[in-house]
A and B are shown apart, each in its own frame.
Chain A
Amino acid sequence: MTTNPAANSATALRLEQVTRHYHMGDTVVRAADNITLDIGAGEFVALLGSSGSGKSTLMNLMAGLDRPTSGVIFAHDRNLAEMSSEDLARHRTHTIGIVFQAFNLLPRMTLEENVELPLRLAEVDRAERTGRVREVVERVRLTARLTHRPTELSGGEQQRAALARALVNRPTILLADEPTGNLDSSTGDEIMNLLREINESLGMTIVMVTHEQPRAERYAHRLIHMGDGKVLSDGRSR
């Protein structure tokens, strides 16, 4: 499996004075407040913080699911703020892979169909799709479960399937929002091992939102602590 050539760029994500404000009635909520960050290609970064600290907002901004109120975000030197919604959709298809805490597999589709979905959106030829799906499903060790529906899979299997779906378009950046939040400890470790393996073998940049400090320290290269929409600390893990 190879990754997008854009991964060669030294900086995968660069955020310059990014703010994201929400209005709740008369109150302005500063979910991201003047954040400046550089995430290098191939880094494994953990975004830590309590609920409402702004880490998921930041992840949504990096994914291009949301736009900043001010500031700029570069993904491999391409400014997301200047992109049309079509371009942002293409950015999510080709550059970004996303894993959610709640797995977010489509319940009426089999595992194979769920994993194939991003390939349909990327308009990959049908002939090529089967091979690509098998390749990523094998990587997450779910080959025996291809024809199963999400309800027939365990939580760990569902998250592995979601990981396979995130990888199938060979993105350069993987964004994981609390990927172990719904899993027990050993299954969570299993997923974290997979993420590390992907990071090391493919050189894929991983940004993981979590509130589990020990796990973040064990697997991530870099820990960014957030609070009240601000970066409180940014440093290498021990």
Chain B
Amino acid sequence: MKGRDLAELALRNLRESVLRNSLTTLGIGVGITSLVALGSLGVGLQNLATDRLAKSGVFDAIYVAPKTRTPGFGREQNPGTNPDTPPVPLDADARQRLAKLPNVVDVYADIRFPTEIHFDGKPYQTVVAGVAELDKTEGAFDSVKGSFFSSAAADEAILQIDFARQLAPQQTDSLIGKELILRYAERQALPPDPGSKDSEPAGFSVVSKDQPLRIVGIVDTDPAGGFGPYGRGRLFIPMQLAERLRATQANDLRDLLRDTPTKRNYESLTVRVAGASKVKDVESAIKNMGFAAYSILDATQALQQVFAVFDIFLLIFGSLALVVASLGVINTLVMAILERRREIGILKALGAADRDVSRLFFVEAGAMGLLGGIIGVILGFVISRAINLGTNFYLARRDLPSISVTAVPWWMIVAAIAFSILVSLAAGMYPASRAARLDPVQALRYE
């Protein structure tokens, strides 16, 4: 029998016992609903986690540090090299070489230093972090109240909300536009020692300096969620300004002990790459240059594994309802065989092959699966929206920003309907083969 004739006969049969078939279809629909609702929660939570990381701009960033010979400090060792070979210095030259690597968009120092802020006549201790211009567009400061820095060298500051609450506990928004004084320790080069033939100065001095800044914005969240260069930073200033300040940093004392104490070495550099897909290649190029390199991609792979396991658990629980629904399909079709026994006999007497009969039952099962899948996807979508609404209602009552905890991507819709059809077809296998094996002589005698 041709496909169209088969479909017409199957739909006619389904219409015959409309109540029973509708209930069976609804059963499949409920199974798919639970799958889609739980699946959307899994995907939504995964998106929530990965979006935050992606928005932090850390996906296209590689953190570069000099290789250390001191084991156990978390930095990458250099197992292939002679331990007597000094590590490649991460200095201005290295920075230029890194900037020239293909697909590298920007290279900047990770500038973070402790500071004392003077605001409204009171001192506050905090940590300052330099922010790259790239982050204006890459989402780390998406939720900023006020604005991003007007330029890469502007005397401006963005406050993290916790720090802003310290400055103005009741009305943080009123801080925007106000001035504060940033007091920091500046590193100043000493003049060369006149008694020495060597023109190189013996070190540098550290001087207290004040830098007035205008507050232009406040960020609700911790940019980068604690990862990368902004981790633990509570006051953010433009990167060029941060470099210009020449604030003393943690590794400056180590510079003193080098042969060239005034030549600045970076503790670490951030290399920004043109897209996350290029990170791997650039990372290995940097490692080949003799530096330690680390990217967040390594961490997200582990995160994806965790979510994959989480999704599997959600799908297993969601599938339980579908297992019950598939038993309903088997029951409905077996009942249909009993009811249509004589009809199957007639069909066979008229020339229907066993294959035609089994295909007829398969198409009926598949049609119930298709319809159940569509119903399930619609209901699942509605429930996932409801979960979102409920979550955001709860968050809004606690003055927290709204989020999307569920997501129904197009592939989930296609997969849910395909899965529904597959499960229904699998459930229809036994009834279909039983119908096909029916002895026509016996079936025709059946009243």
Q: List residues of chain A with CB under 8 Å of any chain B CB.
A: 60, 63, 65-66, 85-86, 89-90, 92-94, 98, 100, 104, 106, 108-109, 117-118, 120-123, 165, 169
CB atoms of B12 and A108 under 8 A apart? yes
Known: A86-B353, A118-B351, A121-B352. 11 other contacts (CB 8 A): A65-B440, A86-B354, A89-B351, A89-B352, A89-B356, A100-B444, A104-B444, A117-B347, A122-B351, A123-B1, A169-B351
CB distance from B298 to the nearest CB of A (A): 59
CB atoms of A123 and B351 under 8 A apart? no
CB distance from B358 to the nearest CB of A (A): 12
Known: A85-B353, A108-B16. A65 touches B343 (CB 8 A): no
Output the nearest chain A residue to B353 by Cβ-Cβ distance: A89
**Which residues of A have CB within 8 Å of B444?**
65, 100, 104
Output the nearest chain A residue to B5 by Cβ-Cβ distance: A120
A93 to B352, CA, bound (A): 8
**Does B355 interact with chain A (Cβ within 8 Å)?**
yes
**Which residues of A have CB within 8 Å of B356?**
89, 121
Output the nearest chain A residue to B346 by Cβ-Cβ distance: A104
CB atoms of A118 and B350 under 8 A apart? yes
CB atoms of A93 and B12 under 8 A apart? no
A60 to B440, CA, bound (A): 10
Output the nearest chain B residue to A91 by Cβ-Cβ distance: B351
Question: How many residue pairs, one in A and one in B, have C-beta atoms under 8 Å apart?
Answer: 61
CB atoms of A106 and B346 under 8 A apart? yes
A117 to B351, CA, bound (A): 10
CB distance from B20 to the nearest CB of A (A): 15
Question: Which residues of B from 1 to 23 have beta carbons under 8 Å from A?
Answer: 1-2, 5, 9, 12, 16
Which 3 interchain pairs have the tightest Cβ spacing?
Answer: A93-B351, A89-B353, A120-B5
CB atoms of B1 and A89 under 8 A apart? no
**Does B349 interact with chain A (Cβ within 8 Å)?**
yes
CB distance from B11 to the nearest CB of A (A): 12
User: What are 13 inter-chain pairs, A to B, with CB distance below 8 A?
Assistant: A65-B348, A65-B349, A86-B353, A86-B354, A86-B355, A90-B351, A92-B348, A92-B350, A104-B342, A104-B346, A120-B2, A165-B350, A169-B351
A66 is contacted by which of B342, B352, B353, B441 (Cβ under 8 Å)?
A: B441
**Which residues of B have CB within 8 Å of A123?**
1-2, 5
B1 is contacted by which of A90, A94, A120 (Cβ under 8 Å)?
A: A120
**Which residues of B have CB within 8 Å of A60?**
441
Question: Which residues of B from 330 to 356 have beta carbons under 8 Å from A?
Answer: 342-343, 346-356
Known: A65-B441, A66-B441. A121 touches B349 (CB 8 A): no
Output the nearest chain B residue to A106 by Cβ-Cβ distance: B343
CB atoms of B354 and A85 under 8 A apart? yes
**Which residues of A have CB within 8 Å of B5?**
120, 123
CB distance from A130 to the nearest CB of B (A): 14
Counting chain B CB atoms within 10 Å of each CB, the highest count among A66, A94, A104 belongs to A104
Output the nearest chain B residue to A126 by Cβ-Cβ distance: B4
A111 to B2, CA, bound (A): 21
The secondary structure that dominates the B interface is helix
**Which residues of B have CB within 8 Å of A86?**
353-355
**Which residues of B have CB within 8 Å of A117?**
347, 350
A132 to B146, CA, bound (A): 80
Question: Which residues of B from 406 to 441 have beta carbons under 8 Å from A?
Answer: 440-441
CB atoms of A98 and B12 under 8 A apart? no
Known: A65-B349, A106-B346. A89 touches B354 (CB 8 A): yes
A141 to B10, CA, bound (A): 30
CB distance from B422 to the nearest CB of A (A): 27
A94 is contacted by which of B343, B348, B351 (Cβ under 8 Å)?
A: B351
Interface string of B72-116 (1 = CB under 8 A from A): 000000000000000000000000000000000000000000000
Output the nearest chain B residue to A108 by Cβ-Cβ distance: B16
CB distance from A139 to the nearest CB of B (A): 18
Known: A120-B1, A123-B2. A89 touches B441 (CB 8 A): no
**Which residues of B have CB within 8 Å of A121?**
1, 347, 350-352, 356
Output the nearest chain A residue to B352 by Cβ-Cβ distance: A121
A118 to B356, CA, bound (A): 12
**Which residues of B have CB within 8 Å of A169?**
351
**Which residues of A have CB within 8 Å of B352?**
89, 121
A165 to B353, CA, bound (A): 18
Output the nearest chain B residue to A61 by Cβ-Cβ distance: B441
Known: A104-B444, A106-B343, A121-B356. A98 touches B350 (CB 8 A): yes
A89 to B348, CA, bound (A): 7
**Which residues of B have CB within 8 Å of A66?**
441
CB distance from B364 to the nearest CB of A (A): 14
A184 to B356, CA, bound (A): 36
**Which residues of B have CB within 8 Å of A63?**
349
Counting chain A CB atoms within 10 Å of each CB, the highest count among B12, B342, B349 belongs to B349
A120 to B353, CA, bound (A): 12
Question: Which residues of B from 120 to 140 have beta carbons under 8 Å from A?
Answer: none
CB atoms of A93 and B350 under 8 A apart? yes
CB distance from B432 to the nearest CB of A (A): 15
CB distance from A66 to the nearest CB of B (A): 5
**Which residues of A have CB within 8 Å of B343?**
106
Counting chain B CB atoms within 10 Å of each CB, the highest count among A86, A90, A120, A123 belongs to A120
CB atoms of A98 and B1 under 8 A apart? no
**Which residues of B have CB within 8 Å of A104?**
342, 346, 349, 444
**Which residues of A have CB within 8 Å of B9?**
120
**Which residues of B have CB within 8 Å of A165?**
350
CB distance from A154 to the nearest CB of B (A): 20
A118 to B350, CA, bound (A): 6
CB atoms of B1 and A92 under 8 A apart? no
Output the nearest chain B residue to A85 by Cβ-Cβ distance: B354
Output the nearest chain B residue to A95 by Cβ-Cβ distance: B351
CB distance from A132 to the nearest CB of B (A): 14
CB distance from B110 to the nearest CB of A (A): 74
Interface string of B342-380 (1 = CB under 8 A from A): 110011111111111000000000000000000000000
**Which residues of B have CB within 8 Å of A85?**
353-354
**Which residues of B have CB within 8 Å of A92?**
348-351
